[in-house]
Amino acid sequence: MRTVKYRLIIPIMRGHHDPHYTARGVAVGVAVAMTPTIGIQMLIVTAIWLMVRKFPSLNFNVIVGMAWTWLTNVFTAIPVYYLFFLTGQILRGHPDDLTGFSAFADQFNAAIDHDLPWLEMVWRYTMGLIEGWGLSMLIGSIPWSLFSAWIGYVATLRFLARHRARRHKRAGRKKRRNRSPNSGT
């Protein structure tokens, strides 16, 4: 929990940018986190940022965006990808063709060979996903990605509004306490 606070929450709180700039960073990071791209998510956020940074209404805090991709990781990949797969199968009209979680996890783990160089392992893993469950996972990740990005955006705006109001109120109290009653100010 401490890592979450220091990696995800503190950068949001310390930012002095427009709240929408930070909220867009969270939204992009969460949207990318909720796609079957674990391992290259920070690169995807960076690529998106490079494309939109010249447009003020689309630009976002790239550091915050990259940090929020950590929402999903190698430890959460199997259950999250399974959720994407189930959602995709249902959206594609195949609710009767749902692999059980343990069979899905076994196939997923078989696609990862830790003895290979990192890039080759990522390539084999990606090809395994595409060939095995790719279309269903991709389609299934879309609603989760969009919904999560929207929740991240709205929650960040609300969080920043409350945080900045508390900080402003604290600064006002501190300023009043620091005034001397005899100073005439």
pLDDT in tens, 113-164: 667 787 777 777 677 666 667 788 899 999 999 999 999 999 999 999 898 8
152: three-class secondary structure by DSSP: helix
CA distance 147 to 81: 16
Angle between helices 19-33 and 41-52 (to 10 degrees): 140
Does some domain include residue 87? yes
CA distance 177 to 100: 63
Does some domain include residue 150? yes
161: which residues sit within 8 A by CB, 6+ positions away?
19
Does some domain include residue 10? yes
**pLDDT at position 5:** 60
**pLDDT at position 127:** 74
Give me the number of domains the chain comprises: 1
- pLDDT of 180 > 60? The answer is no
Does some domain include residue 45? yes
Cα dihedral value 51, 53, 56, 61, nearest 10: 120
Does some domain include residue 183? no
Does some domain include residue 185? no
Tell me which residue range forms the domain holding 151.
2-178
pLDDT digits (tens, 9 = 90+) for 6-54: 556 666 666 678 899 999 999 999 999 999 988 899 999 999 999 999 9
